Amino acid sequence: MASAQKKAQQLARQLFRASLVDNELSAERVGGVLEYIEKHCPVHPRPVLSAYHRLVAAEVARGQAIVEHAGAVTASALTDIAAKLTKRYGRQITASAKRNDALLAGVRVRVGDDVYESSVAGQLAALANSTT
């Protein structure tokens, strides 16, 4: 069974690479890959599709900045955040706002697995951890 799982992972990675154009995910190519899988069903389609989905979702998350906020965030602030992150990462980043009243004040920005936080809640948590 481990061999089948490994083969599914390998096929998913090959399909993922076929979904990239100039190292960027192409919606058109993803559609083509899904059509290919539908027409040429692999032996174990569920593990292949699951692994492919994880790879595509991770790549999509790498290009999105989720800006969590407690107060108001203006469109120009989101544009500025996206521009700075685009410069920092060297790839196009889009920003979207998500309200999170637990932050109290400030923002938390998540790009893929990276988290940048400048919030009162984060500072209080850091203070609590440093005193224990």
> What does the pLDDT look like over 58-117, one tens digit per residue?
888 888 888 888 877 888 988 998 999 999 988 888 898 888 877 777 788 888 888 887
> Half-sphere exposure (CA, 13 Å, Cβ side) for 101?
0
Those residues whose C-beta lies under 8 Å from the C-beta of residue 14, and which sit 6 or more positions away, are: none
Q: What is the average pLDDT across 36-64?
A: 87
> Half-sphere exposure (CA, 13 Å, Cβ side) for 78?
15
Q: What is the average pLDDT across 32-36?
A: 89
Q: Which residue has the higher pLDDT, 44 or 6?
A: 6
Q: What is the pLDDT of residues 7-29, one digit of tens each?
A: 889 888 999 999 988 888 888 99
Q: pTM score, two decimals? A: 0.67
pLDDT bin (cut points 50, 70, 90) of residue 122 is low
- Tokens coding 122: 């984060």
List, in sequence order, every residue forming a beta bridge with 64; answer none if it has no partner. 94
Give the pLDDT of residue 1.
52
Amino acid at residue number 19: S
93 class by beta-carbon count within 10 Å (0-12 exposed, 13-18 middle, 19+ buried): buried
